[in-house]
Amino acid sequence: MNPLTDTDALQDFPALLQQHRGILAKVAGTYAWHPDDRDDLMQEIAAQLWRAWPGYDTGRPFSTWMYRIALNVAISYVRGRTRGVQPESWHEDHHDLADPNPHDHESHQQVDQLYRFIQTQPPLDRALLLLYLEDRSYREMADVLGLSETNVATKISRLKQRLRQEL
């Protein structure tokens, strides 16, 4: 492990955070449907990343480290906010992520179905789906989530099967 120790390395944090800000948005968008909640979650993730930054191992990819922390914070956030409360159902008015094909009605319906499916999944499965949709390798997913590659492959296979059944 090669944790950060010098002042110059600590100054790299804002640039790396900016470079990988899409990870924050994707994780927050997967776990918080309301824009205010997403903003709160993004701030919480950024704060936790800053607290963990001095221990970042520069020998490992920053994005993998960032995903691991972001997903752990998001899962804790969801668990803390939903104890004894039914989660708000997904609705187009509450979820303002941009549709890449706004004029393709069939694609729009498929995206809606996918978001609904993702929302019904437990937090760990949401994380797996997010990483899978990001085209992350099984090795990277395993590293981010602290699972074995075999476990990741099994869980992804089961998620695909459930998705096919539901859609």
Alpha carbon distance 141, 164 (integer Å): 22
138-145 and 149-166 helices cross at what angle (nearest 10)?
100
Per residue in 82-107, pLDDT (tens digit) is 554 444 444 444 344 444 445 566 77
The secondary structure of residue 87, as a DSSP letter, is P
The secondary structure of residue 135, as a DSSP letter, is T
Per residue in 120-167, pLDDT (tens digit) is 899 999 999 999 988 999 999 999 999 999 999 999 999 999 999 987
Alpha carbon distance 47, 43 (integer Å): 6
Percent of the chain with pLDDT strictly greater than 70? 78
Q: Bridge-partner residues for 3, per DSSP?
A: 57
Q: Which amino acid is located at 47 in the chain? A: A
Alpha carbon distance 85, 37 (integer Å): 15
Alpha carbon distance 12, 166 (integer Å): 44
Cite the beta strand spans of 47-145 per DSSP E.
Answer: none
Comparing 111 with 16, which gets the higher pLDDT? 16
